[in-house]
Amino acid sequence: MARSKPNVPADALAGESKLIKASLAMPAGLLWRLSTIASKLDRDRSEFAAELIDQGLSRYALDKALRKFSGEEPGQEETAA
Which contacts (CB < 8 Å, 24+ apart) does range 19-27 have? 19/78, 19/80, 24/49
Q: In whole angstroms, what is the distance from residue 80 CA to residue 26 CA?
A: 24
Instruction: Say what the pLDDT of residue 60 is.
Output: 86
- Give pTM, 2 decimals: 0.62
CB-CB contact of 9 with 20 (8 Å): yes
Average pLDDT, the chain: 79
